[in-house]
Amino acid sequence: MLNRRASGILAHLSSLPGPYGIGDLDSGCFFLDFLDQAGQSYWQFLPTGIVDHVFGNSPYMSVSAFAGNPLLVSPDLLFEKGLLHKEDLIGKPHFDEYTVNFPVVNDFKNRLLQKSYERFVSIRLYQEEFEEFCQKQGYWLDDFALFMCLREKFMSSPWYEWPRSFAQHETKSLQAAARELGEKCLYYKFVQYVFFMQWRRMRQMAQQKSIRLIGDIPIYVGLDSADVWANQSCFDLDVTTLRPRYVAGVPPDYFSETGQRWGNPLYLWEKDGKPNDRLYTWWSQRFRHISRMVDVVRIDHFRGFAAYWQVPAKEETAINGKWINGPGKRFFEQVSTATAELDIIAEDLGIITPDVEELRDSLGYPGMKILQFAFDSDESNLYLPHNFQTTNCVVYTGTHDNDTTIGWYYDNKVSQNAKNRARRYANSDGSVIHRDFIRLAFSSIAVLAVIPLQDLLGFGSDCRMNRPSTLEGNWIWRCAPRFLSTEISHYLRGEVDFYGRMRQESGADK
């Protein structure tokens, strides 16, 4: 459990400064230096899986729940390992320091990764380590690599439109495909090998600095993913079309009047009236995998384990869905061995009912408090710091789905009454509302306070990370290097020191 007052920063790796158009795993090490200087104990980021332009490059809709995003691989670290030549890094495209141009970055990084693989094969570097990686990760890596190869073979069409024997994951056809596509499969395995090699380096640096990493595990996976293709008995699919009968989403809420139709397939928690053992095994593997990457995990859409919104797949919006009971506490008891090394944060936002709160509290997981939600009603609002009923919670000024605090404050759609209440509550004139919110978070009784990087820097709506229910213009924000200044780190260090949230070097914060 989290039991010592502390603070951290929310910033996705892709948003960090770096010379190659996107933050990467080398940028992450430089960011750890900044967090160290600022006295921070935690760094939280979004899911690190492969992103796809079809879904607007959302990290919450990946082709694999296990694979790392190749765009986060550092070319400089490949060069240091002898897997690239110096001239390979010359003549790179012009990259904007404020946004990620995913198509350009994707072309550039893939070209370098291909060169790196060719050098890996030609000079036989790290062969023993690579083979050991493939053996240990084979439970997901083999299916993932073959899935990516077949995707190429069938012109990027979704797996459920592949020839029937391949779509149904039939062993004989897959064995033949593995022989035919073996070399290409090795390439995809190699990319994952270098991703996790670089990840291990970054995590070791975090451990040396006593900075704990907070990962993010989406409750659902994408339909066109290696996970669904290889584990079809775990999902509620039509046996004829292989497509979902129902899809995930949420009813109308703060973010959307028509709800959010996410489109992810739903889980088959039970088969023939009994727990679906294969599904629980898959979830256990997923938790063990992320526990090797991070110290804490935020379970996105935690409420789905108590009850989830089931939307008929034929519906265009989420309005006509209904609540279905989830697996509840039994799920977490079944995977308890796999989660033993993790601290867990429950993302308990949205429509939260007593059963969700009971599940969260029975497990001892801290929930989330969002200050931007605190001022739209009255003094009983549960997000107001004076209403925090326990220290066992994590307070945020906002999340990746919110506008920045500056953007929120100047948004005409936010009521004047909410802004007036915020100013009064913070004893503020509104001129530095982002710092007022940071002060409210740090001074609260919450055991952990996490501040989005955009709020630390006082940025506006143009730096927002995501607008739910939209596809265009999300996930592209980047922080230019000059903004991670000594002045900012000194300010942040002073605040965490004043409010008793300074990092302890002993690492005894579990």
Find out whether 59 and 49 touch, Cβ atoms under 8 Å: yes
- Sheet architecture: strand order including 343-346: 343-346, 296-300, 212-218, 42-44, 6-10, 448-452, 393-396, 367-370
The amino acid at residue 390 is T
CB atoms under 10 Å from CB of 5, counted, come to 21
Tell me how far apart the alpha carbons of residues 51 and 71 are, in angstroms, rounded to a whole number: 9
The one-letter code for the residue type at 190 is F
Closest CA to 349 of 296, 283, 304, 415: 304
Find the farthest-apart pair of alpha carbons in the chain and give their distance in angstroms, rounded: 70
Percent of the chain as helix, strand, coil, to the nearest 5: 45, 15, 45
- Give the whole-angstrom CA distance, residue 15 versus residue 456: 14
CA dihedral 272, 273, 277, 283 (to 10 degrees): 120
Strands (E), 379-485: 393-396, 448-452
Q: Pull the structure tokens for residue 402.
A: 């919110």
- Which residues are known to be catalytic? 300, 347, 401
- Residue 376, class by beta-carbon neighbours within 10 Å (0-12 exposed, 13-18 middle, 19+ buried)? middle
Query: 207 with 168: CB under 8 angstroms?
Result: no
Q: Which residue has the tokens 């050991």?
A: 132
Cβ neighbours of 272 (radius 10 Å): 5
Q: What angle do CA 504, 29, 58 make, to 5 degrees?
A: 105
Q: Is 76 exposed, middle or buried (0-12, 13-18, 19+ CB in 10 A)?
A: middle
What is d(CA 392, CA 368) in angstroms, rounded to the nearest whole number? 9
Q: Which helix H or strand E contains 369, and what residues bound it?
A: strand 367-370
